[in-house]
């Protein structure tokens, strides 16, 4: 039985409607990704499901007793109390009682006072009255599962741990459906992977909004796109969705072209001379009027940003050269230790590391904005740096959108040509009305687009981008990727978007811990592969040293030798089956089949891959025995 059903839901804040008579069904256990452009109505749809927004028309049906919990897009700035307190808030008044009991237990341990004992007894009695012992255990269980310290104040935690606490608060009530709005925003890669693995193991239904392509590809079992007020469903992975969406838009363009041609022909006919008007078909006239209405009501596809990066004259061949540099904060915490690197013109370098590890500090060192405490940094010549700040400090929230870009002027010099500031901002999808509004009224995605618009008004040969992908929709992300790939200058990129790093950078600087920074060729996946090889190489001498205390040769038993001889054939069989199933899944019509047909095939593929991995591991194990 469906958990939630939306029937003919309509919502409008003016014309055109934001949500235009849509239908949606969410089944138990499925993981649905809701995608769409910034401002398309994704967050509003989540609010309709929770009852925070009431639709103008249509029916919302919930299964009897269904529980829905939500993780908001942004971490509240006013969140206070201990981790235990915040999580217990997810259980309402009974949760507050459990939090009070937890604090009294702690207080009694530190101060065995009679007054505290009496308060604890009263609290125990109240818990028993409302059958609240299960509630206390549930909070403790989720704290353990999330690997949290229950007695730490939430205000002292990093953004990633705050989001983990808020996720625990949403899950503590054991919801049947969990709603997540951009759960990976401002999280580092380790935190994103933790959330990803946790949700993969979670058994409830999930509806989430995300622009992190790797995250949603790993997690989603179904994609739903909201576009111009309508919903479209895709039972496939993300790459297949992209292909199908492209085909749908091509078909729509052809249909619109035929429609426009027919309308043009009918408009010519209606304007013929008096004789034609005397004999014209009234039914044809009514059909023309219907065509006019349909054309007027047609919602055109949302525009795509037309960003362009102005490139300055080339910098010197060497952009930055660091030799054995070290740097530590005032509290003595080391950020960089004996680090050396050479960055040359045209390099596209990604920085990977946990939040707070010092990525921004390293950028400032490489650009000469900070002096190393040890070692030497040589910066290149003719450097024109454009800096994208993750905190958007370059934007003045009290000023309008256009004043932030133009400084009060009407005209801009862009690419050697004079352009009106509103015309320029329309390339970044800001309407004239939006250009006159203050920055404080913009969404997160709009602010990022505005910062890019401001950044690209000046020529540069070095782009420094500190987490530019937060809040950007997928279309804008794809365009930014293309611009950075074609950019002739140098790029220094801090990002936690794994797909973005893979597609843009040519090398990565990775903070490995304890102020150690290592450089790898390629993007995120290349780093993982190279790190795995290094770990195996480092482990090889230790494993090779162990047999010295054993006989030089050790004869394998008959059964072990037979298993070893059979493994190559078993591996070949598994690879053949996996290839056949993969080819079947990659067929365009595979995901058009019923889910009861496709799901067992997908499960079989996963099982075969697990068997193949086990066979390879067993082969390596037997080879060294």
pLDDT in the model for residue 551: 44
Q: How far is CA 589 from the centre of its chain?
A: 28
Task: With H, G, I as helix, E, B as strand and everything else as coil, classify residue 561.
Answer: helix
pLDDT in the model for residue 553: 46
pLDDT in the model for residue 548: 47
Q: Which residue has the tokens 């509003």?
A: 44
Q: What letter would DSSP give residue 235?
A: -
- Cα–Cα distances (Å) from 426 to 431, 435, 449, in that order, read 6, 9, 11
Number of residues written out for the chain? 625
CB 505 within 8 A of CB 493: yes
What is the spatial distance between Cα 452 and Cα 480, in angstroms, rounded to a whole number? 9
Torsion sign over Cα 589, 592, 596, 599: positive
CB 53 within 8 A of CB 47: yes
> In this structure, what token pair is assigned to residue 12?
């409008």
Task: With H, G, I as helix, E, B as strand and everything else as coil, classify residue 300.
Answer: coil
Rg (CA), the chain: 30
pLDDT in the model for residue 33: 94
Burial of 563 (0-12, 13-18, 19+ CB in 10 A): middle
Which of 387, 386, 401, 390 minimizes the C-alpha distance to 438? 401
Question: What pTM was estimated for this model as a whole?
Answer: 0.67
What is the spatial distance between Cα 243 and Cα 429, in angstroms, rounded to a whole number? 24
Query: Cis omega before residue 16 (within 30°)?
Result: yes
What is the spatial distance between Cα 34 and Cα 183, in angstroms, rounded to a whole number? 12
pLDDT in the model for residue 207: 95
Q: How far is CA 134 from the centre of its chain?
A: 35
Task: With H, G, I as helix, E, B as strand and everything else as coil, classify residue 574.
Answer: helix
Which of 30, 32, 53 minimizes the C-alpha distance to 41? 53
pLDDT digits (tens, 9 = 90+) for 311-361: 888 888 999 999 999 999 877 788 899 999 999 999 999 999 987 788 888
CB 24 within 8 A of CB 5: yes
Strand stretches in 188-243, DSSP E: 205-209, 222-227, 230-234
CB 225 within 8 A of CB 235: no
Backbone angles phi, psi at 517, to 5 degrees: -125, 125
Q: What letter would DSSP give residue 272?
A: S
Residues of the chain with pLDDT under 70: 74-78, 111, 131-133, 158-160, 272-280, 294-305, 390-393, 534-560, 586-592, 594-595, 620, 623-625
């Amino acid at each position: 039985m469906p958990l939630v059903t939306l029937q003919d839901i309509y919502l409008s804040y003016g014309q055109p409607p934001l949500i235009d008579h849509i239908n949606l069904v969410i089944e138990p256990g499925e993981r649905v990704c809701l995608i769409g452009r910034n401002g398309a109505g994704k967050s509003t749809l989540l609010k309709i499901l929770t009852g925070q927004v009431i639709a103008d028309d249509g029916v919302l049906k919930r299964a009897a007793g269904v529980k829905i919990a939500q993780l908001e897009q942004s971490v509240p700035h006013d969140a206070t109390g201990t981790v235990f307190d915040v999580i217990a808030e997810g259980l309402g008044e009974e949760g507050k009682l459990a939090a009070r009991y937890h604090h009294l237990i702690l207080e009694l341990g530190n101060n065995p006072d009679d007054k505290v004992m009496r308060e604890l007894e009263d609290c125990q009695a109240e818990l028993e009255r409302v059958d609240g012992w299960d509630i206390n255990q549930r909070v403790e269980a989720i704290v353990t599962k999330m690997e949290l310290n229950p007695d730490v104040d939430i205000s002292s935690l990093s953004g990633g741990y705050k989001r983990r606490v808020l996720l625990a608060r949403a899950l503590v009530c054991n919801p049947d459906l969990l709603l997540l709005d951009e759960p990976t925003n401002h999280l580092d890669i380790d935190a994103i992977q933790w959330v990803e693995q946790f949700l993969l193991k979670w058994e409830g239904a999930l509806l989430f909004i995300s622009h992190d392509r790797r995250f949603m590809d790993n997690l989603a079992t179904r994609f739903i796109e909201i576009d111009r007020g309508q919903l479209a469903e895709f039972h496939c992975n993300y790459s297949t969705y992209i292909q199908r969406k492209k085909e749908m838009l091509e078909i729509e363009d052809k249909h619109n072209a035929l429609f426009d041609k027919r309308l043009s022909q009918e408009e010519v006919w209606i304007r013929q001379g008096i004789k034609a008007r005397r004999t014209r078909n009234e039914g044809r006239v009514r059909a023309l009027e219907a065509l006019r209405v349909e054309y007027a009501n047609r919602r055109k596809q949302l525009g795509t940003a037309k960003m362009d990066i102005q490139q300055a004259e080339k910098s010197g061949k060497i952009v930055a050269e660091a030799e054995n540099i070290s740097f530590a904060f005032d509290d003595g915490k080391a950020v960089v230790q004996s680090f050396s690197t050479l960055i040359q013109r045209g390099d596209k370098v990604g920085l990977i590391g946990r939040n707070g590890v010092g990525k921004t500090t390293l950028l400032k060192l490489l650009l000469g904005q900070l002096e190393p405490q040890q070692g030497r940094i040589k910066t290149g010549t003719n450097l024109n740096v454009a800096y994208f700040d993750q905190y958007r400090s370059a934007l003045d929230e009290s000023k309008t959108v256009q004043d932030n870009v133009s400084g009060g002027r009407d005209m801009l010099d862009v690419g050697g040509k004079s352009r009106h500031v509103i015309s320029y901002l329309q390339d970044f999808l800001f309407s004239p009305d939006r250009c006159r509004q203050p920055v404080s009224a913009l969404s997160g995605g709009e602010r990022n687009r505005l910062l890019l618009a401001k950044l690209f008004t000046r020529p540069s040969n070095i782009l420094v981008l500190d987490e530019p992908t937060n809040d950007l929709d997928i279309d804008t992300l794809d365009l930014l990727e293309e611009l950075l790939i074609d950019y002739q200058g140098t790029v220094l990129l801090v990002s936690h978007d794994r797909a973005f790093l893979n597609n843009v950078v040519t090398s990565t600087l990775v903070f490995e811990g304890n102020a150690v920074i290592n450089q790898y060729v390629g993007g995120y996946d290349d780093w993982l592969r190279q790190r795995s090889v290094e770990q195996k190489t480092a482990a090889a001498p230790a494993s090779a040293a162990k047999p010295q205390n054993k006989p030089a040769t050790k004869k394998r038993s008959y059964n072990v030798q037979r298993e070893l001889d059979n493994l190559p054939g078993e591996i070949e069989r598994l690879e053949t089956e996996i290839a056949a199933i993969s080819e079947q899944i990659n067929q365009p019509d595979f995901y058009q089949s019923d889910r009861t047909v496709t799901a067992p095939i997908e499960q079989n593929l996963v099982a075969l891959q697990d068997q193949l991995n086990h066979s390879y591991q067993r082969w390596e194990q037997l080879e060294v025995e």
